[in-house]
């Protein structure tokens, strides 16, 4: 038997820098820059702070970072309302800071992916400032404008994810404009080829600066139905709360016409052509689709001319991921989108942290982390996940998120997962800032700081480093095929296969010991440090919340 530490020498890991498919099976670490590290004492994280903390990220062994928006913005939706696609907001630093970040990250072997928000801009963007002035200016058709109905009401029944109608009246033009999110986030008109060309130029600008890829925000919202047809209603039993909370009537519609239109595929192919002008670029599209998410992911990643991979919500939602449910999701992806490539995540900047959402103990948290690393696809981790952070309780008076303010208290918004990263334990601000943080530093997070865990070989941070290294050291986990061998609510047994190598990944997802039957063959037990397992001929016994990895050569 070998231990994890004995199988993960850095000499055994081939650098992905020469591999155009480096993203297949990669581990990507998401940074929410406002909350990562403040370098100048204004209470808001910035690019210089990210640069300062790159050694921590490198110590995790991840392949890439994904940075949420840092473009020039009025920050009503904290950077997802862009007013200059080619500018760095002074809050986050300068373009020179970004250049330094690219250079430093690449020097550490870390790729840099940035968050492009192409479906909409801020109302402060110069394009919208011109478009709203009249119906006959050069940018008049760059946004989605429509006349009112004869009674003055909006042109159709489309709803905003952030509440209320998706249409806002503009008195200067005497028309409504479309906004799928905040009123201050007008949707661009992708039926206008000049708009598409301008956005492709934005992508090329960032790629020429050395950016390694894009996370594409709300990628299925780009194109709207040109006929502006009403969305059909859903019955209460049909409503899905994956994309929006139940308190939001957005869930009451089947959004057939306001998003996920077939014309979107043509733009994605144009975008891929731009990316293919550069070496080793990747893209991951965020598909927010209530009714047919996996089908859309398959369409958007089909062949070699669309997106590289898509990022779904299967494990970002509330339902507990029993062995049965995980098996169903993974198998359905293989059935529906087996020729595509998945990107899996448990947490991000928009959802409750999964430790709280699923009520996981430390052992359960480790088991599900190991399961994530065993899935076929690329993995996204969210900052603080490696520390085991739970969702923070943010008081209403400290709330910043407009989404939370709108639906409080039944939905408290997204601030609970966006609180500052705790780096130190010895001060109340956790080493994040010397000023007043934009969101409070949760006292409960201080004991889980990086400093508190960094040298503790039994810490969750140490576990994340080991399990990421384990995945990296085994190409069968990064790029191999997958087969579900058995599952029920309390266990999952999967097989990964690649080039004559097979690995069994056995998960006890319960509080009772489980003995699992294995396929016949000579399996070598390889355990991630911290797990306990025993195996004999064609069986493995796992204590509560434990995991076993077993390998054999075939052929």
- Helices vs strands, H then E, count in the chain: 14, 22
Burial label for 412, CB within 10 Å (0-12, 13-18, 19+), is buried
Coil, strand or helix at 77: coil
Phi, psi of 172 (to 5 degrees): -65, -40
Structure tokens at 489: 């609510």
Is 220 in contact with 289 (CB distance < 8 Å)? Answer: yes
- Whether residue 217 lies in the annotated active site: yes
- Whether residue 151 lies in the annotated active site: no
Is 393 in contact with 413 (CB distance < 8 Å)? Answer: no
Query: Which residues fall within 8 angstroms of residue 49, CB to CB, at 6 or more apart?
Result: 33, 36, 37, 38, 39
Which candidate, 526, 528, 534, 531, places its Cα nearest to that of 551?
526
DSSP-assigned letter for residue 524? E
Q: Which of 63, 217, 286, 289 is catalytic?
A: 217
How far apart (Å, rounded) are the C-alpha atoms in residues 473 and 503? 13
Within 13 Å and on the Cβ side, how many CA atoms surround 211? 24
**174 — alpha (psi -120 to 50), left (phi > 0) or beta?**
left
Q: Which of 277, 335, 426, 481 is catalytic?
A: 277
Q: Is the peptide bond before 462 cis (omega within 30 degrees of 0)?
A: no
How far apart (Å, rounded) are the C-alpha atoms in residues 392 and 419? 7
DSSP-assigned letter for residue 29? E
Q: Annotated catalytic sites, by residue?
A: 217, 277
């Amino acid at each position: 038997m070998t231990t994890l530490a004995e199988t993960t020498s850095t000499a055994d890991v081939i650098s992905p820098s020469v591999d155009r498919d480096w993203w297949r099976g990669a581990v990507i670490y998401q940074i929410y820059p406002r909350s990562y590290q403040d370098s100048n004492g204004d209470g808001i994280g910035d690019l210089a702070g990210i640069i300062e903390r790159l050694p921590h990220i490198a110590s995790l062994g991840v392949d890439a970072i994904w940075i949420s928006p840092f473009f020039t913005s009025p920050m009503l939706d904290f950077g997802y309302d862009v007013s200059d696609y080619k500018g760095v907001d002074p809050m986050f630093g300068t373009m020179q800071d970004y250049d330094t970040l690219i250079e430093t990250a690449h020097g550490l072997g870390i790729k840099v992916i940035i968050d492009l928000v192409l479906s909409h801009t801020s109302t402060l963007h110069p394009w919208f400032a011109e478009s709203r002035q009249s119906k006959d200016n050069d940018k008049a058709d760059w946004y989605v404008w429509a006349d009112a109905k004869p009674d003055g009401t909006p042109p159709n029944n489309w709803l905003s994810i952030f509440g209320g109608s998706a249409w806002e009246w503009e008195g200067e033009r005497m028309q409504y404009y479309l906004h799928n999110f905040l009123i201050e986030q007008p949707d661009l008109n992708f039926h206008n080829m000049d708009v598409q060309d301008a956005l492709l130029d934005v992508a090329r600008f960032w790629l020429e600066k050395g950016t390694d890829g894009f996370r594409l925000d709300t990628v299925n919202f780009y194109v709207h139905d040109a006929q502006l047809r009403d969305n059909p209603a859903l019955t209460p039993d049909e409503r899905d709360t994956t994309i929006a909370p139940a308190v939001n009537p957005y869930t009451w519609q089947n959004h057939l016409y306001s998003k996920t239109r077939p014309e979107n595929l043509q733009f994605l192919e144009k975008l891929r052509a731009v990316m293919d002008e550069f070496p080793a670029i990747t893209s991951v599209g965020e598909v927010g689709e209530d009714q047919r998410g996996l089908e859309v992911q398959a369409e958007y990643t089909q062949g070699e001319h669309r997106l590289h991979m898509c990022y779904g919500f299967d494990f970002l939602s509330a339902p507990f991921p029993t062995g049965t449910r995980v098996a169903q999701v993974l198998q359905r992806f293989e059935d529906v989108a087996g020729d595509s490539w998945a990107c899996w995540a448990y947490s991000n900047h928009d959802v409750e942290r999964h430790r709280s959402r699923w009520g996981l103990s430390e052992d359960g948290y480790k088991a599900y982390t190991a399961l994530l690393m065993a899935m076929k696809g690329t993995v996204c981790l969210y900052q603080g996940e490696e520390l085991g952070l739970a969702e923070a309780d943010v008081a209403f008076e400290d709330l910043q998120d407009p989404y939370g303010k709108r639906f409080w208290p039944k939905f408290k918004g997204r601030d609970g997962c966006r609180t500052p990263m705790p780096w130190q334990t010895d001060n109340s601000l956790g080493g994040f800032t010397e000023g007043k943080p934009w969101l409070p530093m949760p006292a409960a997070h201080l004991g889980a700081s990086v400093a508190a865990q960094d040298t503790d070989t039994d810490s969750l941070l140490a576990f994340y480093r080991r399990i990421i290294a384990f995945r990296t050291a085994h190409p069968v986990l990064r790029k191999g095929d997958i087969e579900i061998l058995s599952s029920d609510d309390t266990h999952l047994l999967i097989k990964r296969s690649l080039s004559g190598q097979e690995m069994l990944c056995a998960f006890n997802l319960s509080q009772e010991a489980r003995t699992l039957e294995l396929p016949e063959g000579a399996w070598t037990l390889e355990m991630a440090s911290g797990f306990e397992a025993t195996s004999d001929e064609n069986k493995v016994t796992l204590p509560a919340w434990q995991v076993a990895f077993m390998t054999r050569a075939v052929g």
